[in-house]
Amino acid sequence: MPSPGPPCQSPRHHAHDPHRTSRRRQGHPGGAPRRPAPHPPHLQRRHAAGRGQGGHGARRRGRRLHEGRQAGARRGRDRDDPRAHRPPRRRRRLHARRLPAHDPAGRGPVGGHDPRRLHPRPRRPHRGPRRADRRARRRPPQRPGHRPDLPPDVRSAAARGRRPPRPPQGRHRGGDPAAPGQVPRRDRAHRPPLRGPGRAPPGRRRRHPRRGHRPPHRRPRELIMASYDHQAIDARWQERWARERTFATPTDRTRPKYYVLDMFPYPSGSGLHVGHPKGYTATDVVARARRMMGYNVLRVMGWDSFGLPAERQAEKENIHPRVVTERNVATFKQQLSRLGLSYDWDRELATSDPRYYRWTQWIFLKLWERGLAYQAEVPVNFCPALGTVLANEEVKDGKYIETGDDVERRLMKQWMLRITAYADRLVDDLDGLDWPAGTLAMQREWIGRSVGANVDFAVVGHDARVQVFTTRPDTLFGGTYVVLAPEHPLVDAVTTAAQRAAVAAYRAEAGRRSERERTSEAADAPKTGVFTGAYAENPVTGQPIPIWVADYVLATYGTGAVFACPAHDERDWAFATRFGLPIVEVVRGGDVTQAAYTGDGVHVNSEFLDGLDNAAAIDKVIGWLVERGRGEKSVRYRLRDWLFSRQRYWGEPFPTIELDDGTVKVLPEDALPVLLPELDAYKPTADGRPPLARAGDWMVTTDPATGRPATRETNTMPQWAGSCWYYLRFLSPDRDDVAWDPDEERYWMNVDLYVGGSEHATLHLLYARFWHKVLHDLGLVHTREPFQRLFHQGMIHKPSFKDARGKYYYDHEVEKVGERWVVKATGERVETRNEKMSKSRYNVVNPDDMCDEYGADALRLYELFMGPLEDGTEWATDGVSGCRRFLDRAWRLAVDDETGGPSGKLADTVVGDQRALERALHAAIKRVSEAVDNLRMNVAIADMMVFVNEATRAATVPRDWYEQFLRILSPFAPHVAEELWERLGHRTSIQAAPWPTWDEAKLARDVITIAVQVQGKLRGTIEVAADAAEAEVLAAARAEPKVVEFLAGKPIKREIYVKGRLVNLVV
RNA sequence: GCGAAAGUGGCGGAAUUGGUAGACGCGCUGGAUUCAGGUUCCAGUGGGUAACUCCGUGGGGGUUCGAGUCCCCCCUUUCGCACCA
């Protein structure tokens, strides 16, 4: 898909972050191998870091040094990196001990003594940076992420960024000069010196994030405690999953299948931001849960890797687009890998790989064979800035939707695909799909099928007829004039001498206005037009009516001519009123002197149509016209054929040649793939031909059939081509003899769940459906539609800061002064808006940073916890830490903070009355199970939190219940879940454990609370047995003291009882 | 302009689809633990009020015993479409 998150796309964005680009370049000299090595991500990382001098960590640190006053302190702390001189392991371990949680009930693993007494130096969680440290570093006032306090938002810097230190707790700090409100808590200068050598350095990982600088040996396992070591655990399980091929696609065919697919990304140079993984995480939860539920799951990832940005970047750096692409893919893959997504990486594919695009070319041959591909001299949208043509769909308001570059009309010979031949099926087959209603509507609208009639109007005094298309032939009796588009071929012929000058002037004027102006200036602009002096004969009344020329009639739609019925069409009404043309009512229902009436109604003034409603009148009049040869039924579409060529290098070459006599023919299948030639430049040639024309040797060829000289096509296919069928290639990506294996296709298709952004609602999804239907007609796929269920994840937003010139700033470059935001350096005012995250808006949050700091599981949870999957929400890094705390609590249920061993909290049996805990467990199982279907992940996570809170409060937790919980947690937080599962003694992956089931009976309560209302207002609650009879409940309600008070002795007129919910007493 | 969706605490969001508004998380307040920061744990947290209570789901009407939920009008935001005959 060209643009997963549109903004990452444009090459101009690269310029904004030279650090990153250069860092990447250093880290991956020569790009990454195409078939990635099977190394787990963390290992790859190490390699990468090892290669670049200094490694990425150093580089990044260097960058941060510029970021403000925190830098000095940070650097200082780096210097006494305690890891440099670690104490012997044993001692470390003692220091690393975590205090046992306070146990109010006096039970638990605390034992007879308090280790604190033995160790004057308190230990702190060994793992995981402490929150304050993180916060301080992560978002010093000048750091990004820190300004959630947008103008309307009151939780401002005062509350967060500039929060005063906690007031002294008692007298210790009574005399502290650092009085509350004066000294930012994060100011390290005021911190007492801390921690001995055993202390784990807080924030360590942040300063030496993933690349390089890893400690020479791994932290011993027993030290992984209360706050679990996410770095070690994430890496360990990712490595293990890769080694054991845990997510390999199953080959047995006895189980039901589930094909869950993410819209594959265009690997832009900007890398991922936290907006990308939202959909991927959701599908990962579905995939992991479905596996546990016994499904064979196909879960794959690939790259939509042809495309303009790589080509432009290649020009800029003077390297091959392939190199740029490989570099970007390596970055994307590395970032994705850290999230622990359960892809079968063996099936990774890239559309720019000749092994892939060979088959894209092959499908083109099929389209050709079916007569669906043709060349035509057509007016195209040419974008001079890009040097290429664009499909209609890629142009909006005269600009390229991706970059905003201007687009103009030109006549050029182009490849076209006859998608219009499938228009009806593309509309009709939408009916069986489980897609968002809005997307279905957009597709229907885009295809724009309208059913109506072609009607012929004879021109008075000429041997010519004007054919019009109309959806309302029933209003022909109200047709009081005819309008031709300015470009209509009959204009010249019919215009009278007297009107010739006026018409010519009008046409010249209309010609000067671009199509864009004419359409986008919209319906509200006053209508313009000019009379031709000619008349046409109304085919039903026989009356002569004037012929006008007006640009509200489009030359490109229908027949370029309409008959006007001002009484029942708003545009005609506006035009007729302006130019004093007659308005004749033919459908009752409105006041046509005031406005057009477009609704249904009884026909009048219409002779043989009188008394009929719209539908019946339409039928009847068409029959009447057909009988007399004056018209016919007709269906028109807004959809046009698909302009399928681009004047670019980095795309699929067409498998076609042109012979010396101008004949165009396709190459045979065995000539595939037609490889892209190597070039030394990727710009168009001096004479304006596409870049491929630079490859003289490649271009000149012979017709394999006849041996005659021929030239190759120098256009390439658009980026949509590769994404039209990738879901099929995933079925057998390693086969070179077929595009996909038919048996695999029969088993796996169609895609059960397809998740991606709504920006593809029309383009990609329409094109892919079109190809799929062609393949279906060829017997190559067995389903009519490719994507049974579609879901759009919402966009993630963050505040952006922009000055009057449109320049964006990072949030650490601005500050809030009073109610306004200004640039720190210059004091210039900036405007702030919540915008979708993108590199170009300087408001991205990098998932790598989140993984470093909170771990992949916390990030995954937060992505889904933020809100409904389909909604856009504002990113709040604090929310990630909340999810991390939830995981920590879940961890502590099983793992003792003190020893790193079993917590002792897990019991073999139920102890006492634990029905509340059991209810929470079953509620969570139910909610999570349902979420796998309805994708309401946020509430599912909330219910798991309830269980953990409940379990934390409990003295003991039945081990079996805890394990059930771990299993439902595992799709969301797989690393932690696997680790805990293993620590509980399981040898096999939690992925192999069956999905737990819930019991509705366990969700019930014996005693329920009933709300009691008087006059509909809540006055009290009563507790009754769940199975209490109505009379009993009502009696209890009437007896409730508060209720008695509000009844005030008045007679009860009515008693309403909603079982299990409430009682309402009406007096 | 047309169409669709949505407006709920300081914030992100719940609410069994007409039945106790504010689940869960963030933030905040207090307490315990701590030399201390942090962590962890406990308690609190829609607004007004000393309290009784009253007011609260964008605004205004309405239906109903009962409305965040249904109906009508208006406002705002987001996304589509933009003279498609």
Per-residue pLDDT tens for A667-703? 999 998 999 999 988 888 877 788 999 998 999 999 9
Q: How many structural domains comprise chain A? A: 4
- The 3 state secondary structure assigned to A1017-1035 is EEEEEEEEECCCCHHHHHH
Nucleotide nearest to A166 (CA to C1'): B37
Q: Average pLDDT of A421-446?
A: 91
One-letter amino acid for residue A112 of the chain: G
Q: Is the CB of A741 under 7 A from strand B?
A: no
Are A1028 and A887 part of one and the same domain? no
Q: For position A377, what pLDDT does the model report?
A: 86
Identify whether residues A569 and A586 lie together within a single domain. Answer: yes
- A566 part of a folded domain: yes
Structure tokens of A348? Answer: 């990774």
**Nucleic acid strand B within 7 Å of A287 CB:** no
pLDDT tens for each residue of A1-25: 544 333 332 322 332 332 332 332 2
A487 touches strand B (CB under 7 A): no
Q: 10 Å Cβ neighbour count for A487?
A: 16
pLDDT bin (cut points 50, 70, 90) of residue A514 is low
Contact residues for A889 (Cβ-Cβ < 8 A; gap 6+):
A948, A949, A952
- Give the percent of chain A with pLDDT over 90: 49
Q: Which of A270-274, A620-624, A956-960 has the weakest average pLDDT? A: A270-274
A149 CA: nearest nucleotide by C1':
B11
Strand B-contacting residues in A 956-1015, CB cut-off 7 angstroms: 1009-1011, 1013, 1015
Separation between the CA of A215 and the C1’ of B39 (whole angstroms): 24
The answer to whether residue A831 sits within a structural domain is no
In this structure, of A645-654, A738-747, A1016-1025, the range with the lowest mean pLDDT score is A1016-1025
CATH code of residue A858: 1.10.730.10
Host H or E run for residue A1063: strand A1062-1066
The pLDDT score that the predictor gives to residue A470 is 94
> pLDDT tens, A984-1006?
999 999 999 999 999 998 888 88
Q: Residue A652 belongs to what domain range? A: 371-418+641-719
pLDDT score recorded for residue A63 = 28
A982 with A1060, same domain: the answer is no
- Are A655 and A365 in contact by the 8 Å Cβ rule? The answer is yes
Supply φ then ψ for residue A55, to 5 degrees.
75, 165
User: Is A55 a residue whose pLDDT tops 70?
Assistant: no
Give mean pLDDT, residues A906-932: 92
Please report whether residue A344 resides in a domain: no
Rounded distance in angstroms from the CA atom of residue A965 to the C1' atom of nucleotide B38: 30
Quickly give A1017 CA vs B21 C1' distance in Å: 13
Chain B nucleotides reached by a protein CB under 7 Å: 1, 3-5, 10-16, 19-21, 23-28, 30-42, 53-54, 65-67, 78-85
A509, A632: one domain: yes
A900 and A949 share a domain?
yes
Same domain, residue pair A987 and A847 = yes
Q: Round to whole Å and give the CA distance between A835 and A884.
A: 26
Identify the residue with better confidence: A393 or A443.
Answer: A443
CA A936 – CA A925 distance, rounded (Å): 13
The stretch A968-979 carries a mean pLDDT of: 97
Q: What residue has its CA nearest to the C1' of B20?
A: A1011
Strand B closer than 7 Å to the CB of A553?
yes
- Supply A1004's token pair: 């019930």
Q: Is the CB of A472 under 7 A from strand B?
A: yes
pLDDT of residue A554 exceeding 80, the answer is yes
Q: Stated in angstroms, how far is A802 CA from B61 C1'? A: 43
Between residues A756 and A1026, which one has the greater pLDDT? A756
Q: Specify whether the backbone of A493 is left (phi greater than 0), alpha (psi in -120 to 50) or beta.
A: alpha
Closest CA to A14 of A2, A28, A24: A24
The model's pLDDT over A616-625, given as tens digits with 9 standing for 90+, comes to 999 999 999 9
Does residue A151 register a pLDDT over 60? Answer: no
Chain A 145-184 residues in 7 Å CB range of strand B? 148, 153-155, 159-160, 163, 165-170, 172-173
- CB-CB contact of A725 with A770 (8 Å): no
Q: Confidence class of residue A972 from pLDDT cuts 50, 70 and 90? A: very high
**Residues 119-138 of A, Cβ under 7 A from nucleic strand B:** 121-122, 124-125, 130-133
Decide if pLDDT at A937 tops 90: yes
User: Cβ of residue A527 near strand B, that is under 7 Å?
Assistant: yes
Does residue A993 sit within a domain? yes
Are A943 and A911 in a shared domain? yes
Looking at residue A465, its pLDDT comes to 93
Q: What is the CATH number of the domain that holds A589?
A: 3.90.740.10
Pair A413, A532 in one domain: no
A257 or A595: which leads in pLDDT: A257
pLDDT of residue A40: 33
The Cα–Cα gap between A869 and A792 comes to 8
User: What pLDDT does A523 receive?
Assistant: 55
Shared domain for A474 and A597, answered yes or no, is: yes
pLDDT in tens, A165-194: 222 232 232 223 232 222 222 222 222 222
CA of A438 to C1' of B5 (A): 9
The answer to whether residues A1019 and A890 belong to one domain is no
- A1008: which nucleotide lies closest, measuring CA to C1'? B20
Same domain, A1034 and A894: no
Residue A254 placed within a domain: no
Lowest mean pLDDT among A116-125, A283-292, A732-741: A116-125
pLDDT of residue A204: 28
- Rounded, the Å distance between the CA of A928 and C1' of B19 is 26
Q: For the domain that residue A1042 is a member of, what is the CATH number? A: 3.10.20.590
pLDDT tens for each residue of A604-641: 999 999 999 999 999 999 999 999 999 999 999 999 89
**Mean pLDDT, to the nearest integer, of A584-606?**
89
pLDDT of residue A515: 57
**For residue range A326-364, what is the model confidence (pLDDT) as tens digits?**
999 999 999 999 999 999 999 999 999 999 999 999 999
Summarize pLDDT for A454-474 with one digit per residue, the tens.
999 999 999 999 999 999 999
Please give the nucleotide, over all strands, whose C1' is closest to the CA of residue A191. Answer: B37
Single-letter code of the amino acid located at A225:
M
Distance A886 CA to B21 C1' (A): 26
Mean pLDDT value of segment A489-512: 90
Strands A395-396 and A399-400: antiparallel
Which range has highest mean pLDDT (A546-560, A590-604, A618-632, A1004-1018)? A618-632
A639 close to A423: Cβ distance less than 8 angstroms: yes
Length of chain A: 1067
pLDDT at A53 over 60: no
> Is A519's CB less than 7 Å from nucleic acid strand B?
yes
Measured CA to C1', the nucleotide nearest A883 is: B25
Nearest to A545 by CA among A626, A639, A448, A476: A476
Nucleic strand B under 7 Å from the C-beta of A874: yes
Q: How many CB atoms lie within 10 A of CB A18?
A: 10
Other Cβ atoms closer than 10 A to A912: 8
Domain assignment present for residue A117? The answer is no
What is the predicted pLDDT for the residue at A521?
A: 54
Query: Is any atom of strand B within 7 angstroms of residue A191's beta carbon?
Result: yes
Do A513 and A584 fall into the same domain? Answer: yes
Domain boundary among A981, A1002, A1023: A1002
- Closest nucleotide to A124, Cα to C1': B39
The per-residue pLDDT for range A204-246, each reduced to its tens digit, is: 222 222 222 222 222 222 232 347 899 999 999 999 999 999 9
Residue that finishes a domain, picked among A667, A702, A719: A719
Which range, of A67-76, A568-577, A988-997, A1013-1022, averages the lowest pLDDT? Answer: A67-76
Q: How far apart are CA A363 and CA A969, in angstroms?
A: 43
| Mean per-residue pLDDT, A842-858 | 91
Q: Do residues A316 and A11 make contact, with C-beta atoms less than 8 angstroms apart?
A: yes
Q: Residue A378: phi, psi to the nearest 5?
A: -130, 155
In contact, A845 and A145? CB cutoff 8 Å? yes
Rounded-to-integer distance, Cα A439 and Cα A759, Å: 10
Position A17 scores a pLDDT of 31
Does residue A934 lie within 7 Å of nucleic acid chain B, judged by its CB? Answer: no
Amino acid at A616: A
A523 nearest nucleotide via C1' and CA: B83
The answer to whether the beta carbon of residue A703 comes closer than 7 angstroms to any atom of strand B is no
Q: What is the pLDDT of residues A940-953, one digit of tens each?
A: 999 999 999 999 98
* A888, closest nucleotide (Cα–C1'): B40
Task: Please tell me the least confidently modeled range out of A654-658, A814-818, A865-869.
Answer: A814-818
CA of A838 to C1' of B78 (A): 18
A8 belongs to a structural domain: no
**A782-801 residue pLDDT tens:** 999 999 999 999 988 888 88
Distances (CA, A) of A1043 to A561, A1007, A1020: 74, 20, 6
Beta carbons of A454 and A631 less than 8 angstroms apart: yes
Q: Which of A719, A748, A783 is the endpoint of a domain?
A: A719
Instruction: Determine the distance between A152 (CA) and B9 (C1') in angstroms.
Output: 15
pLDDT band at A402 (very low <50, low <70, confident <90, very high): low
Q: What ipTM was reported for this prediction?
A: 0.94
Q: How far apart are CA A253 and CA A953, in angstroms?
A: 46
Tokens linked to A402: 């991706």
Distance between the alpha carbon (CA) of A335 and the C1' atom of B39, Å? 30
Only one residue has tokens 């990468």, namely A48
The predicted model gives A529-534 an average pLDDT of: 94
Q: Which residues contact A855 (CB under 8 A, 6 or more apart)?
A: A228, A230, A231, A233, A234, A884, A887, A975, A976
Output A120 or A833, whichever has higher pLDDT. Answer: A833
pLDDT at A826: 85
Chain-wide mean pLDDT for chain A? 77
The reply to whether A865 has its C-beta less than 7 Å from any atom of strand B is: yes
The answer to whether strand B lies under 7 Å from the CB of residue A450 is yes
pLDDT value at residue A974: 97
A99 touches strand B (CB under 7 A): yes
Does A995 fall in a domain? yes
